[in-house]
Structure 1
Amino acid sequence: MVEPWWKRSVVYQVYPRSFMDASGDGIGDLQGIISKLDYIEKLGVDVIWLSPIYDSPNDDNGYDIRNYMAIMKEFGTMEDFEQLIDEAKQRGIRIVMDLVVNHTSDEHTWFVESRSSKDSTYRDYYIWREGEEENPPNNWSSIFSGSAWEKDNTTNSYYLHLFSKKQPDLNWEHEPLRHEIFDTMKFWLDKGIGGFRMDVINFISKNEQLPDGMIHPEQMFGDGSPYFINGPKIHTYLREMNEKVLSKYDVITVGEMPGASTEDAQIYTDPINQEVNMIFTFEHMNLDSGPYEKWDIQPLNLVALKRNLEKWQHALHQVGWNSLYWNNHDQPRIVSRFGDDDKYREVSAKMLAICLHMLQGTPYIYQGEELGMTNVKFDTIDDYRDIETLNMYKEKRQKGIAHVEIMASIYAKGRDNARTPMQWSSDGGFTAGTPWIQMNPNTSNINAEQALADHSSIFYTYQKLIHLRKESDILTNGSFQLLIPDHPHLFVYKRQSEEEEWIIVTNFSAHKEQLECELCGVQNSNGKIIIANYETPNINGDIIEVRPYEAFVLAFERGK
């Protein structure tokens, strides 16, 4: 079989609202992205994934879609989008769009019609249930806090919204609805896009009985996730989508799938099943949270992270395919999370990049990650824009939780950490106007202009990693072996092919660590340095001294 093109590709995620503003209104736009294509090309990626650019009232920053076949006016026009596809193509870059089909905006024509009457032809496009006064159909919690049900007075019925009440869930049981979605996908694919990232796609099949969920300690509502995550017909729907649409195009598909296990992923990504190419797992991103919510901050247990990534590497090797990521629009900045965003910001950002990009799978880089952009600490809740953050703050304050305690959680885990504007120059460079959300004040010393001028910068580490992905077969097809699995600070692993083996050594601490060469298979000094974030690994006899946040890759020919 011919190897799919996306197995050697690297994806760069653009959050359009915060990437580059060409119009001066403070909001990033399509012409802004076009103006920075040379920058993205220089980085070396093959794919740009755009967070939603569709017409939207923006309750959830574009993930509430009002019209699937129109561009949000703030971002530009359809002509702008077609120009973006064309200019990206000239640079060998494909454009991937966000497919948001678990829910729409409540301003979408389908929902306006659906709520107008119980007899509407669009009624079954959404999930409606009867309920008693002040007593919804079940106890499910919305992911954005509060009940997952909203009473609609027009028909005196409740509709399901797993996210905001302005994001009613679509009813995938209804065949006409599925056909409309498939037509929408074809509309964009026929314009020449390179595929879809599918938003919470494993939520689209619900248990029709809609049973109550378990209520966890300190929670007001029930956990409905067992009844909508990886639901009863999810594989049927994805295979139908592939048969009717995706199989007719040479594109990349990645499903965002919270709660999917490795066993689930094997089914979703095995090419025999014709569902999706890869999924986004959340397990490694939940390891620094408590058991019931992400705002319960816990220190990272590196051993748990290593074991988790090992599990995914083994489960999908020669079965399906992994996606690799530290950051996206929903996650805080990784250098502030698993690295050190102060004294060791540059070296720890490079370490995290090397650690991830040496794994098997398709790497995803989120805008600004290649600069080592950090989390932000706004002074007041009024400076935040994310609906999830604002709802959580309000709910916890009503419970009497102190402002300072809540803000500490937001500083660590809030989604706006990823959404502050891209830092192009020392004075910002994002907009000539007032940005829709404040810039991180550290743009004066963390920005693209400085990074491009400094050939030892984080940017060029990412550039080299992308080049290695394209050129090194061992990264695409080699096996994975975790070494010294129980070490609390060192993440060391081996990639192996028939011809060579690479030893990847990374230090997740600010302390020097001693590593015995024998433990990681380094038995001589004949290894070739593939990439490193210090000048040269410090190997003294049988001991490697691993410096704070150090990372390096040594390559050895097999049998030598």
Structure 2
Amino acid sequence: MIKKWWHDKVAYQIYPKSFLDTNGDGIGDLRGVIRRLDYLKELGVDIIWLSPIYQSPFVDQGYDISDYYAIAPEFGTMADFDELLAETKKRGMYIIMDLVINHCSDKHEWFQKALADPEGEYADYFYFRKGKDGKEPSNYRSYFGGSTWEPVPGTDKYYLHMFAKEQPDLNWNNPRLKKELFDMVNWWLEKGVAGFRIDAIINIKKDTAFPDYPADGADGLVSCTKMVEEVDGVGELLEELKKETFEKYGAFTVAEVFNMKEDELREFIGDDGHFSTMFDFSAAVLSEGDKGWHTGREVTFGEWRSALFESQLEGQKVGFKANIIENHDEPRGASRYLPSYAQNPKGIKMLGTTSVLLRGIPFIYQGQELGMTNCRFDSIEEYDDISTKDQYKVALEAGLTAEEALEAVARFSRDNSRTPMQWSGERNAGFTTGKPWLKVNPNYIQVNAAEEEKDAASVLQYYRQLIALRKSDSYREAFTYGEFRPAFEDEKGIFAFTRSTPEQKILVAANYGTGEQVLELPSGIKKLLLSNNAEIKSAGNRICLGSCDAAVLELE
């Protein structure tokens, strides 16, 4: 494996709108990020991923970009961004931007020009197609519900949008459009960003015949992912993107990839892959329902563990995956992956231990290091997220009561992770002096950074120790390049694995069950490196783990 500068780094995702508001308008801003850089440095963060901060109407929280070269005034100015870049560099940290190039906003200049002249050159920046038999060109359902096709006013044409109708898809078959995108990417890299998190990128390849497929729902539509899965050739576009942009700058790239074909992993994240890494969603997809969130299911510990282990073994053959517990599109991991008896500081530390020490790049989402959890919303009106509102509607149409539909979306809503960061026990969790754009989780009184700073046994202090261990001179090599191997798979409720080099063998073991477990280790214990319970007992080659205990051991 070719060693890269980012292999031993720890990344942290900031959702700027909810991070810290410095001007009292209820919306987080870039000055808030600057103000908390030392907090992130102390946590052990190297790479900061900023969710979109570009100019946008915010139909989909900034993933609908109206100007790729401008900072949204809600977040500040380009001068603020330049200051942020300079301050991160002073601290030896890196900024990566969110790159949203499958689609743009319908308010973008390109789309406005396309609408003004539906036969002109800008129309070909998008997919303008005539309808079939007086209906849409094909029967695809968008990610946010309803047809992917929206009428072009004053014509017999429609335009394609795989997400909201305000997010028209960009035509990657158009060389001029591609050049515009590549120039923009290089502009940001020239400015000094270290790379990008790349949004929904596999969607850029379309079957331009737009064939119909058998419906998969009562609405007569089929998920647009069907077309993505059926079409070949995305690799050629991704390789062109890499060669024209990232490769020239040694940029770090992490891709959001769903619906990848089997045996394509090496092409995506191998030594010469399209990207540096890609997120591991193997656990996140387990609970998905086939008809929407209301058909989502509980996932057993065994299948969750198996999915992660399988993904780890697959990944280490070719490159590095990016490991997550949660992000801005997922509910909070502490509420999703922990059984009710483990939804406490000890259990949250256990979950962090078994994630951060996996092979790959750990991505921590803001508030994860505090143990932030899902937030209870009292009505659908309290939610902001476009996807949550669509799924509530889907649940009602499926025959659920309003109460049942609200319960269904509460489990999976993206707003669970978008509630304001909990900095203190003061009003609005210290996030803003104004009215927060989204409800603050009421548990901020107990779960907040200021309280956890003072408590040596807090989740925050434990995360600092966990990251410090991963990056320490003594164990950095083992946790970066050490072989991953599952352990104690026959023991019920045990999540355990080893990270080994020829010189060291480290065991990470956690008890997700309710009863005490004694593990017979393959060799004696050289050193207990970290534990979430000071009372853990070990002797010789045995260790006793109580419910929610986690331990990191160097073996002889």
TM surpasses 0.5: yes
Structure 1 residues 485 and 343, CA, compared in 2 at 3 Å: closer, same or farther?
A: closer
- What is the DSSP-based 3-state SS (H/G/I as helix, E as strand, rest coil) of the residue aligned with 1:287? helix
Question: Residue 303 in 1 paired to residue 306 in 2?
Answer: no
CA contact (8 A) 1:205 1:229 kept: no
- What is the DSSP-based 3-state SS (H/G/I as helix, E as strand, rest coil) of the residue aligned with 2:49? strand
In 2, distance between residues paired with 1:527 and 1:36? 38
Larger deviation: 9-18 or 461-470? 461-470
The letter for the 1-side match of 2:438 is: I
CA contact (8 A) 2:149 2:160 kept: yes
Question: Residue 429 in 1 paired to residue 427 in 2?
Answer: no
Question: Residue 269 in 1 paired to residue 269 in 2?
Answer: yes
The letter for the 1-side match of 2:60 is: D
In 2, distance between residues paired with 1:527 and 1:230? 52
Q: Which residue in the other structure is 1:396 paired with?
A: 395
Q: Which residue in the other structure is 1:346 paired with?
A: 345
In 2, distance between residues paired with 1:546 and 1:215? 50
Q: Which residue in the other structure is 1:139 paired with?
A: 139
The letter for the 1-side match of 2:452 is: A
What are the equivalent positions in structure 2 for 1:23-422 lying under 5 Å apart? 23-132=23-132, 135-216=135-216, 220-229=220-229, 231-260=231-260, 263-273=263-273, 275-340=274-339, 344-422=343-421
Q: Which residue in the other structure is 1:452 paired with?
A: 453
Larger deviation: 343-352 or 414-423? 343-352
CA contact (8 A) 1:258 1:281 kept: no
In 1, distance between residues paired with 2:458 and 2:29? 27
CA drift at 1:267: 1.4
- What is the DSSP-based 3-state SS (H/G/I as helix, E as strand, rest coil) of the residue aligned with 2:239? helix
| Number of matched pairs | 551
Structure 1 residues 470 and 541, CA, compared in 2 at 3 Å: closer, same or farther?
A: closer
1:477 pairs with 460, 475, 481, which one? 481
CA drift at 1:174: 0.8
TM-score by length of 1: 0.94
1:505 pairs with 502, 505, 509, which one? 509
Larger deviation: 334-343 or 538-547? 538-547
CA drift at 1:341: 6.6
In 2, distance between residues paired with 1:343 and 1:199? 33
CA contact (8 A) 1:351 1:551 kept: yes
Percent identical residues: 38
CA contact (8 A) 1:203 1:229 kept: no
Deviations for 1:425-462, whole angstroms, at most 9, x for unmatched residues? 00210001000011001111100101111122111222
Deviations for 1:12-66, whole angstroms, at most 9, x for unmatched residues? 1000000000110000011111111111111110011000000000000000000
In 1, distance between residues paired with 2:179 and 2:84? 28
In 1, distance between residues paired with 2:134 and 2:32? 47
1:514 pairs with 493, 514, 517, which one? 517
Q: Which residue in the other structure is 1:551 paired with?
A: 550
CA contact (8 A) 2:215 2:221 kept: yes
CA drift at 1:338: 1.0
Deviations for 1:260-284, whole angstroms, at most 9, x for unmatched residues? 35622221011224x1011123221
CA drift at 1:488: 4.1
CA contact (8 A) 2:49 2:98 kept: yes
Structure 1 outlier segments of 4+, above 4 Å: 217-220, 340-344, 540-543
In 1, distance between residues paired with 2:230 and 2:369? 33
- What is the DSSP-based 3-state SS (H/G/I as helix, E as strand, rest coil) of the residue aligned with 2:288? coil
CA drift at 1:209: 2.0
In 2, distance between residues paired with 1:462 and 1:426? 20
The letter for the 2-side match of 1:143 is: Y
- What is the DSSP-based 3-state SS (H/G/I as helix, E as strand, rest coil) of the residue aligned with 1:416? helix
CA drift at 1:542: 7.1
Structure 1 residues 261 and 474, CA, compared in 2 at 3 Å: closer, same or farther?
A: farther
- What is the DSSP-based 3-state SS (H/G/I as helix, E as strand, rest coil) of the residue aligned with 1:482? strand
Deviations for 1:135-190, whole angstroms, at most 9, x for unmatched residues? 21111111111111111223221111111010111111111111000011011111
In 1, distance between residues paired with 2:132 and 2:30? 46
In 2, distance between residues paired with 1:300 and 1:482? 20
Structure 1 residues 485 and 2, CA, compared in 2 at 3 Å: closer, same or farther?
A: closer
CA contact (8 A) 2:511 2:517 kept: no
- What is the DSSP-based 3-state SS (H/G/I as helix, E as strand, rest coil) of the residue aligned with 1:245? helix
Structure 1 residues 338 and 219, CA, compared in 2 at 3 Å: closer, same or farther?
A: farther
Question: Residue 495 in 1 paired to residue 496 in 2?
Answer: no
CA contact (8 A) 1:260 1:281 kept: no
The letter for the 1-side match of 2:469 is: L
In 2, distance between residues paired with 1:381 and 1:223? 24
CA contact (8 A) 1:339 1:345 kept: no
The letter for the 1-side match of 2:32 is: G
CA drift at 1:469: 2.6
In 1, distance between residues paired with 2:518 and 2:145? 46
In 1, distance between residues paired with 2:133 and 2:25? 45
CA contact (8 A) 1:377 1:411 kept: yes
CA drift at 1:219: 5.8
CA drift at 1:531: 1.4
In 2, distance between residues paired with 1:109 and 1:171? 15
- What is the DSSP-based 3-state SS (H/G/I as helix, E as strand, rest coil) of the residue aligned with 2:431? coil
RMSD: 1.9
In 2, distance between residues paired with 1:477 and 1:426? 40
- What is the DSSP-based 3-state SS (H/G/I as helix, E as strand, rest coil) of the residue aligned with 2:103? coil
The letter for the 2-side match of 1:446 is: V
Deviations for 1:387-418, whole angstroms, at most 9, x for unmatched residues? 00112212332443211211112221100000
CA drift at 1:250: 2.5
CA contact (8 A) 1:26 1:431 kept: yes
In 1, distance between residues paired with 2:66 and 2:380? 28
TM-score by length of 2: 0.95
Deviations for 1:267-317, whole angstroms, at most 9, x for unmatched residues? 1011224x1011123221011233443442322222222222222222222
Structure 1 residues 7 and 299, CA, compared in 2 at 3 Å: closer, same or farther?
A: same
- What is the DSSP-based 3-state SS (H/G/I as helix, E as strand, rest coil) of the residue aligned with 1:61? coil
Deviations for 1:305-346, whole angstroms, at most 9, x for unmatched residues? 222222222222252211111110001111111125777410
In 2, distance between residues paired with 1:549 and 1:261? 37
In 2, distance between residues paired with 1:233 and 1:61? 30
